[in-house]
Structure 1
Amino acid sequence: MTHAIRIERTGGPEVLQWQPVQVGEPGAGEVRLRNAAVGVNFIDVYHRTGLYPLQLPAGIGLEAAGVVEAVGEGVSEFREGDRVAYCHGPTGAYAQARVMPARVLVKLPQGIEFETAAAMMLKGLTAQFLMRRTRRFQAGDVALFHAAAGGVGLIAGQWARALGVQLIGTAGSDEKCRLALENGYAHCINYRSEDLVSRVREITGGRGVSVVYDSVGRDTWERSLGCLQPFGLMVSFGNASGAVPPVTLGDLAARGSLYVTRPTLMTHLADRATQLEMASELFDVVLSGKVRPRIGQRYALPDAADAHRALESRATTGSIVLQP
């Protein structure tokens, strides 16, 4: 019997239940695939807690890699035996096998292992749209990236180094800062022991940075704005510490004619051609060796609740992978 993690109500990690499921056959435009590795992301926590509501009961998870077992009517891009990966809806990646739309899958190059794909699809494509689409990095840029030792952060650090960008990271311990520095960051600030704004101003000779990438949210919002130079861009792409406070246009003006955006990966991936282009660039930079996604923790799929506890405690580094 095939099993999956399901939720019947929102709440803490304890609502993640390992249940038997009927997979069935793929319909028109669908494929059935067997997951070989599953990625864990903070958006999964948002779904579990109800911050991003799901229609319950529901599966959970957006990122995985595996093998196509069957294809439905009208599917010509994939066939049985293809290695594939994905990182967006519908939810339900925390499963041994599942049926899903073929349009959300991408073929996985032979040089990339399943676990690597599960560790990098959502996180790597997030780094891609942040640094290559939201604001296309140019050599010589100086930017600030919060949560530098996390899954997205470590990929971003390596990619920025390959692009010739000076990236300043933040992390919650000296150990995490060392990890960030080993993965491409020019500087890393321990936000628990150092004053973030003062250190950024010191590093940049008083100018501030041209862009801040912030997935933390409420706890870092004000300090992030304080790190920007005039006409700087604030990119808020997550709420790990809670929703950001209200911001007024007058405040942005007073701080130096700042720009603010709240982009999402799913908006970029909604267009199939864009999705394939982004994935191709990610695969190329990984196959080149310039970016090496780091798996910091592995859990058996039935132990997904333990993975969520570790992620929320901020005790993790790199990516978390679940093994079906």
Structure 2
Amino acid sequence: MARTVIIEEHGGPEALKLVDREVGEPGPGEIRIAHKACGLNFIDCYQRSGLYPMNLPQALGMEASGIIEAVGDGVTHLAVGDRAAYAAVPPGAYSEARVMPAAQVCKLPDAISFEEGAAMMLKGLTAQYLFHRTTPLKAGDTVLFHAAAGGVGLIACQWAKSEGIRLIGTAGSDEKCALAVEHGADVCINYSTEDWQARVQELTDGKGVDVVMDSVGKDTFEGSLDSLKPLGMMISFGNASGAVEAFNLGILAQKGSLKVTRPTLFAHIADHDVCQEMAAMLFEKVASGKVKIRIDQRFTLEEVPEAHRTLEARRTTGQTILTL
């Protein structure tokens, strides 16, 4: 048996329940992992609320780290006793242990702690596909990154700096802006006190940026399009302020033949080999010190409802984990 956080109906943080669940043995292509720490992400809140509907009852949580306890037939990249970490479907990481598909579970280097492993996989692999698998980026390019002091944001600031890419961030307070700059942002705009769109134009001499990386969604979408240079790419990869509303595709032509994409991590990591390659690049960034994983909030399994409230109120910086 393993303590596991589930929902039986969609709703607010009060819908989260801590129960005992039987773990079982792994079948073909599966592993059983005893968790050491679990990651917390906005997608967990979307699934809990019903923005991303699921069949219920359902355990939550998309990333964790731990020790491999058992391996099913056909699994060759992991062995019993291996340190491991993952961002993967189906949900179920808010637990002491689970059985799950092995394909997206990655062997965790000794140089990276379990807490770092739990905090970095979903957001770090997101940064990897943003910078390497979505649109060509090279040293000297300029990226506008919203929520630059958040979990993905602080990784993205460091990632951009490590590759010579200029990152202009936005955040909601002077303290968060300072944190983004400390982690490698060229500059960070406080959108609560500044006109961030006008500031972006000023910082780019009126040319706009090459790429916008936007996890905020509805509130920033139109301004993000207006911040792009002609032929620029808008990467909308989250809905923190709500889903982007329908819009006329002709606007993209009017604003300079812009490109828009709405990627998800799980489409990028669906292939086992690709997932392992992406993870290897992430592990190199972290093990080399180019990207440091900052964990600013820790909660227990019993405190998951409060963790969700804190995340949704945007009172977090860096990474948030559940400790076991």
TM-score of the superposed pair, with normalisation by structure 2: 0.99
- 1:248-272: CA deviation from partner (whole Å, max 9, x where unpaired): 1211111111110111111110111
Letter in 1 for 2:80: E
The answer to whether structure 1 residue 48 and structure 2 residue 43 are counterparts is no
Residues 66-81 of structure 1: matches in 2 within 5 Å?
66-81=66-81
Partner of 1:23: 23
Deviation at residue 77 of structure 1 after TM alignment: 2.3
Q: Which residue of 1 aligns with 2:217?
A: 217
Deviations 1:143-189 (A, max 9, x none): 10000000100000001001001100000000000000000000101
Q: Which residue of 2 aligns with 1:162?
A: 162
Once residues 322 and 301 of structure 1 are traced to their aligned partners in structure 2, the CA distance between those partners, rounded to angstroms, is: 6
What is the count of residue pairs matched by the alignment? 324
- Spell out the pairing of 1:1-324 with structure 2 (5 A cutoff): 1-324=1-324
Distance 2:274 2:103 in 1: 12
1:254-301 deviations in Å (ceiling 9; x for gaps):
111111011111111011111011000000011110100110100012
Shift of 1:70: 1.1
Deviations 1:73-115 (A, max 9, x none): 2323222111111101010000000001111211000100010
Answer yes or no: is the 8 Å Cα contact 1:30–1:75 preserved in 2: yes
Q: Distance in 1 between matches of 2:122 and 2:70?
A: 24
Secondary structure at 1:276 match in 2: helix
Structure 2 counterpart SS, 1:304: helix
SS in 1 for 2:11: coil
Whole-Å separation in 1 of the counterparts to 2:258 and 2:317: 31
SS in structure 1 at match of 2:133: helix
List per-residue Cα deviations over 1:201-253 (Å, max 9, x = no partner).
00011101011000000011111111111111110000011011212121111
The whole-number CA distance in structure 2 between the counterparts of 1:104 and 1:156 is: 22
Structure 2: where are the runs of 5+ without partners?
Answer: none
The whole-number CA distance in structure 2 between the counterparts of 1:108 and 1:126 is: 17
Q: Is the 8 A contact 1:40 1:61 kept in 2?
A: yes
Amino acid at match of 2:99: V
Structure 1 residue ranges (4+ consecutive) displaced by more than 3 angstroms after TM superposition = none
CA distance in 2 between counterparts of 1:143 and 1:274 reads 25
The amino acid that maps onto 1:248 is: N
1:302 Cα deviation after fit: 1.8
Task: Tell me, in whole angstroms, the C-alpha distance in 2 between the residues paired with 1:130 and 1:155.
Answer: 11
Matched residues in 2 for 1:138 and 1:77: separation?
Answer: 33
Q: Is the 8 A contact 1:137 1:163 kept in 2?
A: no
Contact 2:35–2:97 at 8 Å: present in 1 too? yes
CA–CA distance in structure 2, aligned partners of residues 151 and 218 of structure 1: 19
SS in 2 for 1:99: strand
Contact residue 234 and residue 258 of structure 1 kept, 8 A: yes
Q: What secondary structure does 1:33 align onto?
A: strand
Q: Which runs of 5+ in 1 are unaligned?
A: none
Question: C-alpha distance in 2, partners of 1:197/1:209?
Answer: 11
Letter in 2 for 1:53: P
Moved more, 19-28 or 154-163: 19-28
In the alignment, the residues of structure 2 paired with residue 137 and residue 316 of structure 1 have an alpha-carbon distance, to the nearest angstrom, of: 29
Amino acid at match of 1:194: E
Cα distance in 1 for residues equivalent to 2:320 and 2:66 = 16
What secondary structure is seen at the aligned counterpart in 2 of 1:103? coil
